[in-house]
Amino acid sequence: MRTIVKLLPPQPADVSLDSLLVSGALLTAGSALAKRLVTECGYPGQRPLDDDRVLLLAEAMEARQFLTATQIAFGRLGGRNYLVNGQHRLHAVDLAQIAQEFRIEIYPCETRAELDALYCRFDQPGGRRSLSQLSHALGLHDEDQSGLRPVAAAMLLRATPFLMINMARIAACHRPRATRDLDARKDFALPWKPAAIAYQACLDQGVTNRTARFRASGTVAVALATLRYQTARAQEFWMGAIRNHHLAADDPRLTLANAFLTRQRASHEHDLADMAACAWNAFMRDRPLKAIRTSGVGPIRLIGTPYSGDVA
């Protein structure tokens, strides 16, 4: 049975961190405790804080969309615990002023070299955060919350290469050079911002942990194409699929949502785009759809849009 340590803010200043940091335990940390963990357990080789990432995490906490019980890891060396994974989440707790539950892991280290190696296992400066930073640097997201927010801008940037090849099934290594050029991607992405803002509004209607595949690049590409060229119908389609409330059993929107939840093997962007296209085309024809059937080959065709899947 897991140990559960619950200590809600404010925390007494004299509480020993060693008594709270138990490997495998669940710890609820508020602002005061988060500050203590960052300052008293600081790892000397920690990379600089990424303000953009802290902001995104704090926004997720405010929206009650932050995943609970994620791991906070410490390396223990010379009788002291060093934070090696979790600084951005703890800073976000302090910023949002909302307590969060974390799973604690303590890794014993015999030497400083072992501690450094442990930190390197967790330190991952790339990924979604750098996409968000790139979108900001390229002028894709807006400061105004009514505009394109950082997470949606990152989704737009991630879907852009797939849109640039007309959603054809082409391996990344064989795609045109322009799909890897940031300036070319920016120029291509800018006209898609209104569609991205519209899709952002659709995603806001859903539950984050049930919409992961709606945020994948293949699905986002189909959503952007339909919202750009068939705005009203596409809003009806995507909001219905994402909210998934009171839909008939053979409604293409419900069928797509269920397929996204149950098909474990569909992960390639073309496969997800193919599934979304199947449901979209049935929706546009006002036809019932009880199952998503895709061939896995051939072009992505979207009724009401210029997209046929043929490479430009």
Would residue 33 count as lying in a domain?
A: yes
Residue owning tokens 């979207």: 302
Cα 126 to chain centroid, rounded: 13
Would residue 299 count as lying in a domain?
A: no
Same domain, 143 and 259: yes
- Of 69, 103, 122, which closes a domain? 122
Would residue 311 count as lying in a domain?
A: no
Would residue 240 count as lying in a domain?
A: yes
Beta strand 4-6 with 100-108: parallel, antiparallel or unpaired? unpaired
Q: What CA dihedral angle connects 139, 145, 149 and 151, to 10 degrees? A: 150
- Of 78, 100, 122, which closes a domain? 122
Residue 271: how many CB atoms within 10 A of its CB? 17
Same domain, 58 and 170: no
> So what's the pLDDT on residue 185?
86
Tokens of 90: 């703890």
- Of 122, 140, 164, which closes a domain? 122
Same domain, 184 and 273: yes
Domain extent at residue 160: 128-284
Same domain, 133 and 276: yes
Q: pLDDT tens track of the chain, all 312 residues?
A: 444 444 444 444 567 898 899 999 999 999 999 999 999 999 988 888 877 678 778 878 887 888 889 999 999 999 999 999 999 999 989 888 899 999 999 999 999 988 988 887 776 544 444 565 566 656 777 777 778 987 788 889 889 999 999 999 888 778 888 887 777 888 999 999 999 999 999 998 887 667 778 988 999 999 999 999 999 999 999 999 999 888 999 999 999 999 998 886 666 889 999 999 999 999 999 999 999 988 777 789 999 999 864 443
Are 185 and 161 spatial neighbours (Cβ–Cβ below 8 Å)? Answer: yes
Cis peptide bond prior to 10, omega within 30° of 0: yes
Same domain, 140 and 75: no
Same domain, 154 and 114: no
Same domain, 132 and 118: no
Q: Specify the CATH number for the domain of residue 86.
A: 3.90.1530
Same domain, 164 and 93: no
CA-derived radius of gyration, the chain: 22
Task: Please give the Cα distance from 266 to 273 (Å, whole number).
Answer: 10
Q: Is 46 helix (H, G, I), strand (E, B) or coil?
A: coil
Would residue 292 count as lying in a domain?
A: no
Domain count, the chain: 2
Beta strand 70-77 with 26-29: parallel, antiparallel or unpaired? unpaired
Would residue 209 count as lying in a domain?
A: yes
Same domain, 132 and 259: yes
Would residue 306 count as lying in a domain?
A: no
Same domain, 17 and 50: yes
Would residue 137 count as lying in a domain?
A: yes
Are 286 and 273 spatial neighbours (Cβ–Cβ below 8 Å)? Answer: no
Same domain, 51 and 173: no
Task: Please give the Cα distance from 35 to 280 (Å, whole number).
Answer: 48
Same domain, 157 and 265: yes
State the DSSP string of 171-187: -GGGS-GGGG-HHHHHH
Beta strand 70-77 with 80-85: parallel, antiparallel or unpaired? antiparallel
